[in-house]
Structure 1
């Protein structure tokens, strides 16, 4: 037997609220972002709002501003604007691809492109990062140009490699979005290129140390990782 409904309850629920606060939102920008709730790239609207006190559903008094917020077009979730600092999946992939490419070139420029094993390791790393059209010839040409230009550049502070500016330009935007394991993995991949043809040269070690610094890894951890890379598994 169905429970009886209370006679006046439905009518009571349909009554307008006597007073409340309503927010009127205005869209000021839009774009694509990585939605924390959806877990993927979505369209968004950046919105600002104005709160108003309502009486019987009608706005009567302003109650200040709301937001700004980022509203997901898919789930309608509201997030602080800081969420836009996280790169989209597409942007993150591009940052990683450019970073690996720059690191590989820097290591090759420091150690020379005469070693087929080092060059093959560099090509494999760049392709794994998403640049499937990378070739040994293309890497050789760019690395040789960088090596020739190195003599006309000055190194960075604290003994950084001459190509420090290029490495920081590629790695600084990526590092905050990499987990500790990801930053260590990137340094180890660079170390693998340097070790493909033998022990580190002083120039290669300078490059790898600069890579670790740009990835915000502590110096002690960088030293440990470079030592571990030399140890056969």
Structure 2
């Protein structure tokens, strides 16, 4: 076959081609586009083709994820990361969980503490957060921190300033906190994980030095955020230093 200028054009008469079929679809963060895009997860079968005719099977092709926008092909691990919208939601939940945990063990009687918590949560993307909402959530957490009865000696009581939550109650709060922060940690840069811990520290320090329970919860938050003990100690000390 010849091209328009008369030169011979080489065609591929034989080779291996893949026939794809779509397994499912959804939205993912496309590494090529750099944003959230629709995708199709596809599986394929390879065949040896001669002159356009499929002849011999050559086995299954590795599943791929195809971006509907740029048409790029990626490994299925591209679906492991959250979309931009999902990551923003996870971060909001993380800030909210840290703030509630600090308030639950440190008390809500100081206006400065309540204001610091509201400011942190609003800054994370919840503009309608109010003190009344936080107080209601803290009261619910204290009343039943996953099984710790409010009248248990040393548990998180219903008063505004629990002096010494029991180890069991602190463990429950730390467990709840870890369930929110651990899935988030791999998707945040070190600076982002440190900032989240520092926000919790700022809430705890809004009414004075750390209480033991506040420090214990912040250390649990740092561990859930994959920060080493030395880094956590450094950050908590930094938060205490006036800027």
TM-score (norm 2): 0.87
- In structure 2, distance between residues paired with 1:71 and 1:95: 25
1:132-189: per-residue Cα shift (whole Å, max 9, x none)? Answer: 1100011012112323435537757xx9643012101111111110000000000001
Determine whether 1:162 maps to 2:172.
yes
1:11-69: per-residue Cα shift (whole Å, max 9, x none)? Answer: 433xx422111110000010000000000000000000111111112111111111210
Superposed counterparts of 1:109-120, under 5 Å: 109-120=104-115
- In structure 1, distance between residues paired with 2:238 and 2:192: 16
Q: CA deviation at 1:8?
A: 5.1
TM-score (norm 1): 0.91
- In structure 2, distance between residues paired with 1:6 and 1:173: 59
Determine whether 1:123 maps to 2:133.
no
> Which residue of the other structure, out of 199, 216, 226, is the alignment partner of 1:216?
226
Q: Structure 2 vs 1, CA of residues 24 and 155 (structure 1 numbering), >3 Å: closer, same or farther?
A: farther
Aligned equivalent of 1:12: 9
Aligned equivalent of 2:208: 198
- Give 5+ residue unaligned stretches, structure 1: none
- In structure 2, distance between residues paired with 1:193 and 1:7: 75
Aligned equivalent of 1:230: 240
1:84-139: per-residue Cα shift (whole Å, max 9, x none)? Answer: 11100111111111111111000001110101001100000001111111000110
Runs of 4+ in 1 over 6 A off after TM superposition: none
> Which residue of the other structure, out of 90, 99, 120, is the alignment partner of 1:104?
99
What do you get for the CA RMSD once the two structures are aligned?
1.9
Q: CA deviation at 1:7?
A: 6.6
Q: Contact 1:26/1:49 (CA < 8 Å) preserved in 2? A: yes
Aligned equivalent of 2:163: none
Q: Structure 2 vs 1, CA of residues 109 and 64 (structure 1 numbering), >3 Å: closer, same or farther?
A: same
Aligned equivalent of 2:82: 87
Q: CA deviation at 1:6?
A: 10
- Give 5+ residue unaligned stretches, structure 2: 150-154, 156-165
- In structure 2, distance between residues paired with 1:79 and 1:188: 36
Aligned equivalent of 1:184: 194
Q: Contact 1:160/1:209 (CA < 8 Å) preserved in 2? A: no
Aligned equivalent of 2:47: 52
